[in-house]
């Protein structure tokens, strides 16, 4: 994707209804290494977990009598806490989305993006869409399969067995249905990153079978590989020009164009808060010099 196409996408995200869907490998979007999986390897050194292990493979490694033990989830919480702050992730989350979806369970979206950043979780059992879910002033996140942030609560929805995972697929598909029905039915954009049809708990059919009828170039599939066209729904949506396939990950593409160069990582690490009313963040692209202006919660690209 060249600069002009990226600029069009950034303007869509800022101006129109926009959804970011992060798969279970989204933390590897920047450099190919998922720090959550790396920390799990350290937590369970005697298990057969490697850097490319999927959630399903990790669950199989930790399985005891067909069910993930409580102690394993506790170790996962500790592993997630050891992940360093991910400034690049925060910068992506600040692109003025209406809502985030994720099939991951790690809590990096809320705990590893520095201070003074609010993200309101939407739990698995929530079945009714509300307009406040898509406010650009208060970012919400749909956790399709639960999250480690639930561990301090009385009930957690993280699946511990194949049966529990199957039981979560229907409510996950229902929330995916909000995207074409309630969020971007006439215009807007869905950006998908860190997702794999072979490894993700969110299956290809569960996701893409619900996106027929969307307008052209409304779905950007980052991390695209040619073999994804073996999945009928993906190929059909590409043929219908609904999906825009992009081989790079979103973070890699933004990095290629210098999007991360103009920010101070220290500000996110140590909690320097931006002005609440009107902030201009300088974004230095390699070929351009723009600003991302956020005024009263609304962001827009401004030519410098």
Please give the distance of CA 183 from its chain centroid, rounded to a whole number: 16
Cα–Cα distance between 130 and 128 in angstroms, integer?
6
Reading the block at residue 187, the tokens are 């215009």
Of 175, 145, 143, 142, nearest to 160 by C-alpha is 145
Kind of pairing between the strands at 120-122 and 189-193: unpaired
Give me the pLDDT at residue 139, please: 95
Of 227, 152, 214, 161, nearest to 188 by C-alpha is 214
Give me the pLDDT at residue 228, please: 98
The string of DSSP letters for 206-245 reads: HHHTT-TTPPTT-EEEET--GGGGGSHHHHHHHHTT-EEE
The 3-state DSSP class for residue 162 equals helix
pLDDT tens-place values along the chain, 304 residues long: 988 999 999 999 999 999 999 999 999 999 999 999 999 999 999 898 999 999 999 999 998 777 888 899 999 999 999 999 999 999 999 999 999 999 999 989 988 888 778 899 998 888 899 999 999 999 999 999 999 988 877 678 999 999 999 999 999 999 999 999 999 999 999 999 999 999 999 999 999 999 999 999 999 999 999 999 999 999 999 999 999 999 999 999 999 998 888 655 444 443 333 333 333 333 434 444 344 443 333 343 433 3
Give me the pLDDT at residue 262, please: 60
**What is the set of domains in the chain, with CATH numbers?**
3-32+83-255 (3.40.50)
Please, are residues 210 and 180 in contact by the beta-carbon 8 Å criterion? yes
Of 55, 21, 20, nearest to 37 by C-alpha is 55
| pTM for the structure as a whole | 0.86
Please, are residues 96 and 20 in contact by the beta-carbon 8 Å criterion? no
Any residues with CB less than 8 A from the CB of 168 and at least 6 apart, and which? Answer: 124, 144, 145, 146, 157, 159
Give me the pLDDT at residue 70, please: 84
């Amino acid at each position: 994707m060249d600069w002009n196409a990226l600029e069009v996408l950034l303007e869509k995200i800022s101006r129109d209804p926009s959804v970011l869907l992060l798969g279970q490998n989204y933390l590897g979007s920047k450099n190919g290494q998922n720090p959550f999986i790396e920390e799990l390897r350290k937590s369970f050194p005697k298990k057969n977990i490697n850097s490319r292990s999927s959630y399903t493979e990790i669950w199989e490694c930790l399985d005891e009598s067909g069910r993930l033990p409580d102690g394993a989830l506790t170790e996962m919480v500790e592993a997630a806490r050891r992940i360093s702050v991910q400034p690049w992730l925060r910068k992506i989350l600040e692109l003025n989305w209406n809502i985030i979806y994720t099939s991951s369970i790690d809590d990096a979206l809320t705990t590893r993006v520095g201070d003074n950043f609010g993200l309101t979780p939407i739990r698995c059992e929530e079945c009714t869409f509300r307009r406040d879910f898509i406010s650009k002033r208060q970012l919400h996140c749909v956790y399709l399969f639960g999250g480690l942030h639930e561990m301090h609560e009385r009930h957690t929805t993280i699946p511990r067995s194949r049966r529990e995972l199957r039981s979560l697929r229907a409510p996950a598909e229902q929330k995916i249905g909000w995207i074409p029905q309630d969020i971007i039915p006439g215009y807007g954009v869905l950006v998908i990153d860190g997702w794999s049809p072979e490894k993700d708990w969110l299956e290809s059919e569960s996701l893409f079978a619900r996106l027929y009828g969307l307008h052209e170039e409304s779905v950007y599939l980052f991390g695209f590989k040619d073999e994804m066209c073996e999945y009928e729904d993906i190929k059909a949506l590409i043929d219908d020009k609904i999906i825009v396939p992009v081989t790079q990950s979103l973070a890699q593409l933004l990095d290629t164009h210098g999007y991360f160069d103009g920010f101070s990582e220290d500000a996110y690490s140590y909690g320097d808060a931006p002005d609440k009313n009107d902030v201009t963040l300088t974004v230095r692209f390699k070929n351009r010099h723009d600003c991302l202006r956020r005024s009263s919660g609304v962001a827009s690209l401004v030519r410098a």
